[in-house]
Structure 1
Amino acid sequence: MKLTEAIERGLTVWTASVATAIEAVADRLLRRPQVLVRHDRTESVVLTIQAQPKAKAKVKPMPAPARVNPAAGAAQAGLSPDWLRTLRGAALEIHLAAESVLVRPLDFPKQAEPFLDGMIRTQIGRLTPWNLDQVLYGCSAPRAVGDRIALTLAATPRALVQPLLALADQVGAARLVITADVGSADGGQIQIFKTSLRSSLAGGRDLGRVLKLGWLSVAATTAVLLIATTLIGGYLDGELEDAQAQVTRLRAALRPAMGATAADGLLAKRKQTSPASVIVLDTLSKILPDGTYVVEMHVENDRLQISGLTQDAPALIRLIEQSPQFSRATFYAPTTRTAGEAGERFHIEARINAYFGDRA
């Protein structure tokens, strides 16, 4: 189930990226109008045209700014016909007022920069009063401060902007971007949400979903062809396996001594090339520094996974790589720091080299 979800998530992200690129080209060619929506009050927003197609601008002037209440049952009824025509297929940029946004300054070790997104997602319930499915959030670009990085988290409840999303859908907007005003320290604006509502290239539907359904159809057709090929060739494969088994039995009966020697050699080779868990543990105890505690260790074939607490998680990668017994050391999960713990919680995976000799 997890593999299926991962494949579906990856396909969704990929098709969304392709759809975004196609929509960007379409925006330049179609020159969609851009509308600024300022959420300066809880009960109303102000709509202002930032830019409109040059062809339309020559025909008639831009509509005057309009104020509507998105929480009303039919908010679009308060807009003039000119505004309704302008909003259909437009790109909306919604600016949330500072009082509607929760701002949190964050500070992390510089080594944690590749894992910032995952770390923030797992701690969003502690950083904000809302759960992950109840909040929209975004972060500023990280700033280096010595050996640490600083950034700003901007979050707002999803229920606050839900009327704005409904209004954008009702008026037929094509794209929607929501930004939060956080002051001048991080450039003034942080993007917390972006989506494509519909596409003129896909008949008013979500272009990413259309691409995803197309690729799933191709995958389903390919799977049917593979199953048919497997069923047709199943009988021949079974006959081939029976013939190979008979040849193996005949060789074993004709040359028992050679077979025994080969089996002994195979066992000896496996003993020499398969590292024992006690040797792995002994080697780790020699290379890991004081103050590092291994909580879990898993050894499977030539793969080692360890997790625990340490003061400097990236330094462990270097120490493990320097040992001739291990190679390809990397983090397989984000390094986190939890309140009440003395260090960073790490998760490291490495390949166990076959030879464990006197080089340790």
Structure 2
Amino acid sequence: MTLSTGMMPATIRPAATAVQTIGAALLDSFVATLRPLIARFSTSVSHVVVIAPDGLMLHSLRKDCLGPPLHLADDVRAPEAFHAGAVQLRLPPEVFLMRSLRLPDAGRSYLQPIIAHRLERLTPWRADHVLYAYSVVEGVSEDGTIGVDLLATSVDLVAPFLARLAGAGLTATALGSAAEPLDAPLRFDLYKGRTQAADGRLRARIGRGFAILLGGLATTCLFSAIVAASATSDAEDVQQRLSALRTKLALRGGSGTSRERALIEGKRVDTAAIVLIDKLSHALPDDTVLRELDIEPTRIRLVGRSVDAPALIARLEVDAGLKNPRFAAPVIRDADKRDAFDLVAIRGDVPDAAR
């Protein structure tokens, strides 16, 4: 996937270029990580080419099963069957330089930059002319170091062999030593991590997959936004209908002041008790505790304790609207200097005809 920045405004072109660069780097890294997994589980045939004194020896390799060798003279094109699939080029062992290193185990995650920094001291070639691969030996020694085997060569030494391979119409995707078993995966692959010709196709496929995935996610988000907007519109429509219905009910109920409506609500059976309890909570002082509260259709009974029980009579008449409040039993003052009372009264929120 390539983004064209030619038609973009100059203000956002640097940001778009940075996003494109980062995206391409991430895609390349993903392809490099995915390539070995594809090769491991692939059922396609790969090929092993060994350099011979008088030409090339070609082998087909399928699931670690090595086919019979096919001798190919120099500058003779390989059969078409060898042009499909990965190609391992195995060079003579004398082309390579082998080194065994001891490095701190704490730097295991940074072996690549550590070895790259030491290449000119470990090999007789310039660092930018070195092809190398390394393998970590299992186990950690008592001094906290690990063994690392390094296999290296020079691009100048490899170039003639690559030219002979190119003369056969083949391109190496892996480079190693012929000293390793031909039917086993390379322990030292000097081309590991390099961009290969097949990576372009794999990169394009992954890019298309990501584009389809992002397109699907964008479509899903757009559909979700449309559904949410439709639900919001429906909710607003329902709310408008409810408001219109409330208005009609209010008009049908007749006009009147808010005080008149409050009085009417207080006379209704389903709200009268709630209104009465609310009045009692305001009438009773904080030093009064109720143990019983019996609300009957026409009367009410309160049993509890208070610092000054006689003072409750006036408060219940004025603040709670009760009529004829009186004590049903003598007030008893306990050791805590609190009055235990049993008080009854007639409800003031019911019509006189109901009493």
Q: Which structure: larger Rg?
A: 2
TM-score by length of 2: 0.43
Q: TM-score, normalised by structure 1?
A: 0.42
